[in-house]
Amino acid sequence: MAVQFKKSRTQKVLDITPLIDIVFLLLIFFMVMTRFDEEDYKLDVVLPTASEAQPLIAQPRELFINIDEQGNFFVRAQPYNIQQLEELLAQTAADNPESSVIIRADKNSTIEYSVQVMNACNKAKLTNYSLSTASNEPTQ
């Protein structure tokens, strides 16, 4: 003999009470962890010095220097003159001595402008620089 069950309306409704509980628990967890993180930085601690300590540096990244046909320098779409470029490269070397510089010169510009950028890189002690070229393959 088969057993028959009566389906009620309450079984068709999704119970979201456990979901709400989990969301509130996660919210409380992240709020508490954020407070602990802030407290670590608020402590007034005088750090000891070490003779062999190295500064924390960021991951190496590439700095693109673009040179147009007239010899104007651009970094991140901002125009620079050679003095400003030397200051930028010095700051980049101070922030991260392992940064690489990619020089992208217009093919109709003279080599003098590229040499100025290379010289500025050498002054800033950034030895990881290169000239970028286009592929020799024809485009379709």
Q: How much is the pLDDT for 88?
A: 93
Burial class (CB in 10 A: 0-12, 13-18, 19+), 106: middle
CATH number for 117: 3.30.420.270
Of 83, 121, 69, give the one whose Cα is nearest residue 100. 121
Q: How much is the pLDDT for 2?
A: 72
> Tens of pLDDT along 74-131?
988 889 999 999 999 999 998 888 889 999 888 888 889 999 999 999 999 998 998 8
> Tens of pLDDT along 9-45?
555 667 788 899 999 999 998 887 776 655 555 555 5
Structure token pair of residue 2: 């088969």
The arithmetic mean of pLDDT across residues 56-72, rounded, is: 79
* Residue 126 or 6, more confident: 126
Please state the pTM of the whole predicted model. Answer: 0.55
Whether the pLDDT of residue 8 is over 80: the answer is no
The arithmetic mean of pLDDT across residues 5-9, rounded, is: 63
Q: How much is the pLDDT for 32?
A: 78
Q: How much is the pLDDT for 52?
A: 67
Question: What is the number of structural domains in the chain?
Answer: 1
12 located within any domain: no
44 located within any domain: no
Q: How much is the pLDDT for 54?
A: 63
CA dist 136 to 92, 133, 139, 140, Å? Answer: 32, 9, 9, 13
SS3 104: strand
18 located within any domain: no
Provide the domain limits for residue 104: 62-131
88 located within any domain: yes
Pairwise CA distance, residues 24 & 19, whole Å: 9
Of 114, 65, 59, give the one whose Cα is nearest residue 89. 65
